[in-house]
Amino acid sequence: MHYNRVILFMKNKIRTLSVLALMTISLSINAQSFIASTEIGASAGLSYYIGDLNSNHFSTSKPAASIMVRRNLDRRFSLKAEIKLSNIAADDRTSSDSISLDRGLHFKSAIQELSGLIEFNFLPYEIGNPAYKWSPYLFTGISIFNFNPLAENTNGEWIELQPLGTEGQGTTAYPDRKKYSRTQFSIPLGGGLKFSVNESFNILFSFSMNKTFTDYLDDVSLTYPGNPTEFTNESSDMSDPTGTHSKDEQRGDEELKDDWYAFSAITLSFKLPSFSKGCDY
């Protein structure tokens, strides 16, 4: 009797090990059937910013575009390098808010961005494979970007705001206020949908927001500086265009510490042909 139980136990163990072995072989074959691939593509869409002069998503959206290279590591993960050109703007003078109208500030800025991203597909995804032809996805990474807020003076000329120190940066009246750098880092956070159209063609829909570490995308953050002795007429006009504010009166929104900018886009990408041999076959 004891011998029969041992035989039955051994049979069950062998059956379990056989199932596990078959599953391992199946997963191994499935993993090996995926060939890493590279895509190139371009995006077109809209960009906007959230900060002291705008708190409404998709308000004052402007054209944006990008080019990218994506390396598909497997059916779940991809790495992407992207160069992006965005445009952002806002204008108190068109606002329905009385406080914004009294402030009367405005700006526009182009943003040039270089980013490195990692993408995660919620579903297995592979270009040209009908079994894995679509997936929602998320992405994040790090980017370096350049911005340059401009405003229009009374002569209709668009003037760079950062050199003017509109909040007293670089003046003896505010020695603790340094001129902000126009080159900064940000963290992109986004997601979207991927669709495989055929063996080499992708279409993607995405939305992302970049968390910046500056409050000066719009050249607005702290308080009015009054008229420091170093101020030019241009600095004074751009700092307080309505001329109705006193020194140290709040100019920006104290609750908004860092600005964000967003990018919504449609991307068309193409898988590059693979010329490798050997293990790919």
Domain boundaries, the chain: 1-33, 38-271
The dihedral over CA atoms of 171, 174, 177, 178, expressed in degrees to the nearest 10, equals: 20
Fold (CATH) for 38-271: Porin (2.40.160)
Q: Which comes out higher in pLDDT, residue 26 or 151?
A: 151
Res. 5 pLDDT band, cuts 50 70 90: low
The CA-based diameter of the chain, rounded to the nearest angstrom, is 104
What residues have CB less than 8 Å from 246, skipping those under 6 apart?
A: 224, 226
Residue with tokens 């997601």: 191
Computed over every residue of the chain, the mean pLDDT equals 90
What angle is formed at CA 206 by the lines to CA 205 and CA 207, rounded to 5 degrees? 145
Tell me the C-alpha distance between 170 and 181, whole Å: 13
Does 277 have pLDDT greater than 90?
A: no
Tell me the C-alpha distance between 68 and 201, whole Å: 14
Does 6 have pLDDT greater than 70?
A: no
Residue with tokens 């068309």: 268
- DSSP strands (E only) in 124-182: 134-147, 150-152, 158-160
What angle is formed at CA 81 by the lines to CA 73 and CA 124, rounded to 5 degrees? 30
Does 189 have pLDDT greater than 60?
A: yes
Closest CA to 237 of 155, 179, 147: 155
Does 26 have pLDDT greater than 50?
A: no
Tell me the C-alpha distance between 166 and 180, whole Å: 11
> Phi-psi category of 98—alpha, beta or left, where left has phi over 0 and alpha has psi -120 to 50?
alpha
pLDDT given for residue 274 in this prediction: 76
CB 143 within 8 A of CB 83: no
Provide the token pair at 84: 């992006």
Q: What is the pTM of this model?
A: 0.85
Residue with tokens 């078959």: 22
Closest CA to 195 of 104, 249, 268: 268
Tell me the C-alpha distance between 184 and 147, whole Å: 8
Give 153-185 pLDDT, tens digit per residue. 999 999 999 999 999 999 999 999 999 999 999
pLDDT given for residue 257 in this prediction: 85
pLDDT given for residue 253 in this prediction: 85
pLDDT given for residue 155 in this prediction: 93
pLDDT given for residue 255 in this prediction: 79
Give 250-273 pLDDT, tens digit per residue. 999 877 889 999 999 999 999 998
Alpha-carbon 206 to chain mean position:
10
Mean pLDDT across 44-62:
96
Give 209-256 pLDDT, tens digit per residue. 999 999 999 999 999 999 999 999 999 999 999 999 999 999 998 778
Res. 32 pLDDT band, cuts 50 70 90: low
**Amino acid identity of 165?**
G
Res. 114 pLDDT band, cuts 50 70 90: very high
Q: Which comes out higher in pLDDT, residue 147 or 25?
A: 147
